[in-house]
Amino acid sequence: MTLAEDLDIVIIGVVKKAAILPATLLCVAVACAAIATQEIWTVHQSRPGAGTAGITAISIVPIASIPNTALDMTGGESKLAYVKRVTDIVHLSTFNCQPSDFSLSWLDRIFLALSGNPSVFSDGVLVKDRFVCGFCHQRAFLVHQALQRNGIESDVFGLNGHVVARVSIEGKQYYTDPDYGVGPFAARPESLEDVVRSTYLLAASGDLDQLSGFYTSAGDNGTYDGLDARSEQQAAIFQRSRYAVVLLLLMTVLNLLACVFLARQSGTRSPRPIVGRIQP
C-alpha cells in the first residue's frame, strides 16, 4: 500500500469520526429536552374532573395555581372568617380522588429512589403546588398548612372514617372540613351531634347519621400524624426536579450550539479530494 493510499484511509476515518460527534451531541440534546419536557408537562397537567364542585370537580382556579399569599389572612379579617375562607378555597379548588391518583415525572421518581424513603408518597401528594385531587386527609392538610403559616394553631384530625382540620382559636376548638366544604364549627361535645347535622345539611351531600357518628365516636379519634414531615420530604424531591430541569434545558442549548458550531466548521473545511490512481 502506497503512502497516498494510507493518507486516504486516515482522511476517511477522520471524516467519519467528525460526523459521529455532532450526531452524539444531537442525541444528548434530544434526550435532555425530552426529560425536561416530561417534567414540565407533569407539573402543569390539569385534571379538573367533572360533576359536583369540590367533590368530583373544581369550580375555581386549581389549588396548584393559587399563590400562597391568596391563602394568607388579610388585614381586618377575623380568624374564624379566615378559616372559613381557606376551607372554601381548598374545597372548590380541589376534588376527591384516591391518594394514589397522581403522577410523578421521571425526575421525581429518580430523586424519590435516591431519597431512600420509598413511602414518602404513601399518603398521596401533600405539596400544594403539585396537588390536584386526593382524600380528605390531604385536603385537610392543605388547610392546616395555610393556618400554621399564619400563626393559627391547628392539626389534621382523624375521625372514625373521615379526616378534618382541628383549629384552636382563643382557647376554643373548632372543626373545619374542606372535603365537604363546611366549617368551622365549635367542637363542644355536648352539642356536637346537633351541630354536625345542621352544618353538613348545608353541604347537601353525605350521610348525616354516618357523619355525626364520625365526630361523636371520640374513642377512635385522634391527630393524623406524620404529614408535615412527609410534605417537607416531597417538597425537597420536587425542588430537586425543578433544579434538574434547568440543568437539562441548559445542556440542551449547549449541545445544540455545539452541533451548529461543528457543522459550520466542517462546512468551511476544504478536504483534499481523493483522487483515484490509474493502474498500469
DSSP 128-144: GGG--EE-HHHHHHHHH
Provide the pLDDT for residue 9: 46
pTM above 0.85, yes or no: no
Q: Considering only 28-42, 73-87, 170-184, which range has the smallest mean pLDDT?
A: 28-42
More confident residue, 21 or 97: 97
Instruction: Measure the CA–CA gap between 221 and 236, rounded to whole angstroms.
Output: 31
Q: What is the mean predicted confidence (pLDDT) over 269-275?
A: 52
Instruction: Please identify which residue in the block is written with the cell numbers 457543522.
Output: 263
More confident residue, 76 or 25: 76
pLDDT bin (cut points 50, 70, 90) of residue 6 is very low
Provide the pLDDT for residue 233: 94
What rounded mean pLDDT belongs to the chain?
82
pLDDT tens digits, 38-60: 777 777 665 555 556 566 667 77
Provide the pLDDT for residue 111: 92
Q: Which long-range contacts (CB under 8 A, 24 or more apart) does 11-15 make?
A: 11/271, 11/272, 11/274, 12/274, 15/271
More confident residue, 63 or 204: 63
Provide the pLDDT for residue 204: 62
Report CA dihedral (143, 146, 152, 157) to the nearest 10 degrees: 30
Burial 247-271 (b: 16+ CB within 10 A, else e): ebbebbeebbebbeebeeeeeeeee
Mapped onto helix, strand or coil, the DSSP state of residue 156 is strand
pLDDT tens digits, 90-144: 999 988 888 777 778 888 889 999 988 888 998 889 999 988 888 999 999 999 9
Cell numbers found for residue 60: 375555581
pLDDT bin (cut points 50, 70, 90) of residue 81 is very high
Residues whose CB falls within 8 Å of the CB of residue 279, separated by 6 or more in sequence, listed in order: none
Q: Considering only 57-71, 101-115, 257-271, which range has the smallest mean pLDDT?
A: 257-271
Instruction: Measure the CA–CA gap between 150 and 173, rounded to whole angstroms.
Output: 17
pLDDT bin (cut points 50, 70, 90) of residue 8 is very low
pLDDT bin (cut points 50, 70, 90) of residue 12 is very low
Provide the pLDDT for residue 267: 61
